[in-house]
Amino acid sequence: MEQLLLMNKNLEEKYLSVIEDNVNVGSSNAILEFVILLAGIAFICFILYIFADILGSFFIDRMPDETQMKIENAFSFGIKPRVSAKNNDIVKLENIRDKIILLDKNLQIKSSFPIYEIPEKEINAFVAPNGTIFFTKGILDEVKDEEVLAFVLAHELGHYAHRDHLKGLSRQIIISVLLSLFSSGQHNVDLTVGSIADLNGLTYSRKQEREADRYANKVVFQLYGDNEGAVKFFKMLEEKEKAPEFLQYFSTHPSTVQRLKLIQQER
């Protein structure tokens, strides 16, 4: 009888210890696991991006001009400016444009680079895939200095000369195909991979902007012999914007401070 009691007591202790240390639940740290998984996915995305970049720039740099024009016209079907009236600012810009085009062989015979004004307040300018350049009303009202306008125009033409629009497009197509194969339609994986892809796309965009700035800087030096105008312009922008520096990592453009530094270094 005593033995039975002892056995029961032992069994009880055994049960208690089973309850206390659970072998069925892994003891790994969930956060650590999450970070490792993210790192793995980021690594795969990184390799895919390198692949897409090499593939894209290999073919696009060797693309003949005719093909480029064909693609551009196909993509810019329907781009029509809302304002057609030409004012003095536009005429001034067109004169500068003709000077810049004479400097670079890459820009000749391709597009006529029409320039239009769009009625928006913010300071911005952009180039459409077929070479149409848009200036906002904000920038035309704010900036009267010819050197600055030349810098902005050369920056946009630099994007076109580097075929940045085609590179961005090819990269996006390759990446979206590869990544959708990779995530195979799972929502959560799509979300993660998409976020990584967005951040990476922004980095790429900032790289393109820096290249365009370099190009514009070179052009301004060839035209005027210095880049005082551009430096002044960026200083003005810097005073205007109050965004903290780290936000550039979520932006398509490098921070104004960095762009200013880049231009000042290049002189």
List 6, 37, 63, 91, residue binding other proteins (CB under 8 A):
37
Residue with tokens 């003005």: 236
List 182, 224, 253, 262, residue binding other proteins (CB under 8 A):
182
By CB under 8 A, which span of 28-36, 102-110, 119-127, 253-261 interacts with other proteins? 28-36
- Nearest residue (CB) to other proteins, 62 versus 187: 187
Distance (Å, rounded) from C-alpha 26 to C-alpha 233? Answer: 59
- Extract the tokens encoding 62: 């060797």
List 188, 244, 246, 265, residue binding other proteins (CB under 8 A):
188
Number of residues that bind other proteins (CB under 8 A): 31
By CB under 8 A, which span of 36-44, 90-98, 150-158, 159-167 interacts with other proteins? 36-44
Per CB under 8 A, 245 contacts other proteins: no
- Nearest residue (CB) to other proteins, 58 versus 250: 250
Smallest distance from other proteins to CB 89, Å: 34
Contact by Cβ (8 Å): 92, 149: yes
Per CB under 8 A, 40 contacts other proteins: yes
- Give the binding site for other proteins (CB under 8 A): 12, 15-16, 19-20, 22, 24-26, 28, 30-31, 33-34, 37-38, 40-41, 182, 185-189, 191-192, 194-195, 198-199, 250
